[in-house]
A and B are shown apart, each in its own frame.
Chain A
Amino acid sequence: MIGRLEIVRLWRSRRPLIAACSLLFFLVLMLVGFYTYARAETGGRAEFRYTYENRSYFNGLTFALYAFYFGFLLILPIFIATEGGAQIAGDTSRGTLLLSLTRPVSRTRLFFSKFLLSGAFSTLLAGGFLAVSLGVGLLAVGWGDLDLYPGVLQMTDRHQHLEQQQALARFLLAWPAASLALLAPLSLAYLFSSWVKNPVNAVGLAFSLYLILYVIAEIHFFKDLRPWLFTTYMPYWRELFQERPDWSQVSNQALRLSGFTLLFLALAFRRFRRREER
């Protein structure tokens, strides 16, 4: 019953709708960006669609990958942090946590019901975003094989070629892999949500810390520090788009990321279980 209650509350909170609309808006902007870029590059002689038809490496799959990559790193964590912050800190500030705690339900059950729901929400959000990115790529651009070159995404240091079916299978694998990665910022948001009473502070803390660690993980100057940051491992799913993925590296990074998730979650749970509701 707690699960059902939390689902109804989440659905009616309009957070899923806001997240979906924002991600759609982001996709539209990405699409406009791709079109205007292609036009600028060809001096107005060709549009993005035609550059694909001319067998350029830009196509709907590339578009989906670009959109998902940037969305995963910068947009999805906002909604993940909001979800984490809204759960415990939101209930605390609204006083509804007392309503639940004055019923015969353990803090353990309450905490993990909320976390499971948030995890499912972030998984669906990531899956939905990936599916819509592919759909928009197909409809607005058209699919083909996936060619990746060394460049903006830092996905590869040499040309990679995946046939369409192979690429789609990799996208399918990228969904659970990326969803697993998103559990780390989610559990971080839960940690702050268990410590502070104000959801705005919990979300702000979680997202700003994520951004700081993400930036540090991207700067080579901090290479000694990088192994200790969960953000270093978050884009591990990019490896799946190699012609021959290094599976040991994928599983190793997924395990490390899961370790961070469990650590944040354990700290959050410890705090939630012991804290007083003043």
Chain B
Amino acid sequence: MLPIEIQSLSRSYGRRAALIDLSLTVKSGEIVALVGPNGSGKTTLLKILAGLLRPGGGRVALFGLDPFRDRVRVMARARFAFAPPALFDNLTAREHLRYLIGFHGDHRVSPAEIDQALELVGLTERSRERVAVYSLGMRQRLALAQALLPLPDLLVLDEPTEGLDPLAVLELRAVVARLRREHGVAVLLSSHLMVEVEQLVDRLLVLSEGLCVYLGTPSGLTEGACGLRVVAGDPKRAAPLFRARGATVSELKDGALLVRGVDLDLKAALALLEPAGVELRSFSHYRPTLEQALLERLRAHTAAGRRDA
């Protein structure tokens, strides 16, 4: 049974659609990132997976079970950490872990494992202080520690790096990578940090207004956004010449043209522009960062939505 299987999932709040026809599968040992702007449906998706919301349509299964109806059985294998981290403020970090593990009935976790989890997230020294005095970063670390005990088969992390310092982000990345490598844990994480996503995840699900606008590898997203960066003497005259060759042309922030969908080398570009009297000043390959590629994809989706409307 796959850790996550979603088929044609939809969900609305009144008339507003929060998720539309979403499909996704996550295999054991796979790390998938969930990205998208605020209100894109990320939290709705995570809450449906946690059995806290019912799907409006479609099918959702975690380890082959319906998370709303079989929540108890699902939670025996899956662990969630929602943002902002909600914790019992009157308990210490150590008590937190002990009591939450106690929810697993006969599942025993030794004190040494609790110590190990606390050490892993750097809370050993302050583990006997009440959580009420913790900073956001410390709360985030404890939320991660509680999600690791007992070790789950599926880990779902909502904005796990929020409030963490750069060193802690690095440590978190190492922890997640180790969980996958050594224990085959499947991880679904929602994040705004593209650097973290690019270095950690196998696949990426981009949501915008409840729709999946991209599902694939991070490199697939950047490659799809690659093109030619052309600086022409007269960009307004150069753009139609490229379009006539079947290219899509857009303007970059520095005024250069981004030409996509056509295979041109320098010689062919010169042959296209020079007869029309347009000077070619610069010609190079354009490879955006993951963040740029994501923003372009989201902008394109928003623009398409406006056109449809």
- Taking beta carbons and an 8 Å cutoff, which residues of B are in contact with A? 13, 47, 50-54, 71-73, 75-76, 79-80, 82, 84, 86-91, 95, 99-100, 102-105, 146
For A12, the chain B residues whose CB sits under 8 A away are: 90-91
Question: Does B71 contact A101, Cβ atoms closer than 8 Å?
Answer: yes
Q: Which of A102, A104, A276, A277 contacts B73 (CB 8 A)?
A: A104
Cβ contact of B52, chosen from A8, A9, A101, A105, cutoff 8 A: A101
Partner of A99 from the list B71, B76, B86, B102 (CB cut-off 8 Å) is B86
Q: Is A120 an interface residue (CB 8 A)?
A: no
> A1 at the A/B interface (Cβ < 8 Å)?
yes
A1-24 CB contacts (< 8 Å) to partner B: 1-2, 4-5, 8-9, 12-13
Q: Which residue of A lies closest to B147 (CB)?
A: A102
| Least distance between B227 CB and chain A CB atoms (Å) | 42
Selected interface stretch from A90-98, A158-166, A196-204? A90-98
Chain A residues whose CB sits within 8 angstroms of the CB of B91 once the complex forms: 8-9, 12
List of B residues within 8 angstroms of A13 by Cβ: 90
Contact check, A103 vs B103: say whether CB atoms are below 8 A apart: yes
B87 touches A96 (CB 8 A): yes
Residues of A76-107 contacting chain B, CB below 8 A: 94-96, 98-106
Q: Which residues of A contact B52 (CB under 8 A)?
A: 98, 101, 276-277
Count of interface residues, chain A, beta-carbon cutoff 8 Å:
23
Q: Find out whether the CB atom of B75 lies under 8 angstroms from the CB atom of A104.
A: yes
A98-B50 contact in complex given A8-B95, A104-B73, C-beta closer than 8 Å = yes
Report the minimum CB–CB distance from A20 to chain B (whole Å): 18
A33 to B146, CA, bound (A): 53
CB distance from A272 to the nearest CB of B (A): 13
Kindly name the residue among B54, B84, B86 whose own CB sees the greatest number of chain A CB atoms within 10 A. B86
Closest-CB distance, B150 to chain A (whole angstroms)? 10
On whether the beta carbons of B88 and A104 are closer than 8 Å, the reply is no
In the complex, 12 of the A-B residue pairs with CB atoms within 8 angstroms, ordered by the A residue number, are A8-B99, A94-B86, A96-B88, A99-B88, A100-B103, A101-B75, A102-B79, A103-B75, A103-B100, A104-B76, A276-B53, A278-B47
Instruction: Count A-B contacts at CB 8 Å.
Output: 74
- Quick one: closest A residue to B73, CB to CB? A104
Q: A98-B82, A102-B80 are in contact. Are A276 and B54 (CB under 8 A)?
A: yes
Chain A residues whose CB sits within 8 angstroms of the CB of B88 once the complex forms: 5, 9, 96, 99
Q: Which residues of B contact A1 (CB under 8 A)?
A: 99, 102-103
Inter-chain contacts of A96 with B (CB < 8 A): 86-88
In the complex, A102 Cα to B85 Cα: how many Å? 13
Interface centre among B73, B76, B102, B105 (most CB of A within 10 A): B102
What's the minimum C-beta distance from B29 to chain A, rounded to whole angstroms? 22
B105 & A104 in contact (Cβ 8 Å cutoff): yes
Indicate whether A102 sits within 8 Å of B47 (C-beta atoms), given known contacts A1-B99, A95-B86, A96-B87: no
In addition to A102-B82, A103-B103, A106-B72, 18 A-B residue pairs with Cβ atoms within 8 Å of each other are A5-B99, A5-B102, A8-B99, A12-B90, A13-B90, A95-B82, A95-B86, A98-B80, A99-B87, A101-B52, A103-B100, A104-B73, A104-B103, A104-B105, A105-B72, A105-B75, A276-B54, A277-B52
**Cβ B86 vs Cβ A98 within 8 A:** yes
In the bound assembly, the distance between CA atoms of A106 and B95 in angstroms comes to 21
- CB-defined contacts of B79 to chain A, threshold 8 Å: 102
- Report the bound CA distance from A94 to B89 in whole Å: 10
- Known A-B contacts A95-B86, A106-B72; the reply to A101 vs B50 at CB < 8 A is yes
Complex Cα spacing A277 to B102, Å: 23
For residue B96, which residue of chain A has the nearest CB? A99
CB distance from B175 to the nearest CB of A (A): 19
Interchain nearest-CB distance for B60 vs A (Å) = 14
Contacts of A276 in B (CB 8 A): 52-54
Contact present for B90 and A8 (CB under 8 Å): yes
Do A102 and B99 touch across chains, with their CB atoms under 8 A apart? no
Interchain CB contact under 8 A, A104 and B104: yes
Across the interface, A104 reaches (CB within 8 A) one of B13, B47, B72, B90, namely B72
Rounded to whole angstroms, the CA-CA distance of A12 and B90 in the bound complex is: 6
CB distance from A100 to the nearest CB of B (A): 7
Q: Which of A5, A13, A99, A100 is the most central at the interface, judged by chain B CB atoms within 10 Å of its CB?
A: A99
Of chain A, the residue at the smallest CB distance from B105 is A104
Q: Give chain A nearest CB distance to B206 CB in angstroms.
A: 23
Tell me, in angstroms, the Cα distance from A95 to B84 when the chains sit together.
9
- In the bound assembly, the distance between CA atoms of A5 and B100 in angstroms comes to 9
A225 CA / B99 CA spacing, docked (Å): 47
Indicate which residue in A4, A104, A277 contacts B99 across the interface (CB closer than 8 Å). Answer: A4
CA distance A201 to B90 in the complex (A): 23
Q: How far is the CB of B26 from chain A (nearest CB, A)?
A: 17
Which residues of B sit under 8 angstroms from A106, Cβ to Cβ? 71-72
| A93 and chain B: residue at smallest CB distance | B86
Whether the pair A102, B75 counts as a contact (CB closer than 8 A) is yes
Of all chain B residues, the one with the shortest Cβ separation from A10 is B90
A102: chain B residues at CB < 8 Å are 50, 75, 79-80, 82
A228 to chain B, nearest CB (A): 35
Q: Tell me how far the C-beta of B281 lies from the nearest C-beta in chain A, rounded to whole angstroms.
A: 55
- Give Cα distance in the complex from A19 to B258, angstroms: 70
A107's nearest neighbour on chain B, judged by CB, is B71
Q: How far is it, in angstroms, between the C-alpha of A1 and the C-alpha of B97 when the chains are bound?
A: 12
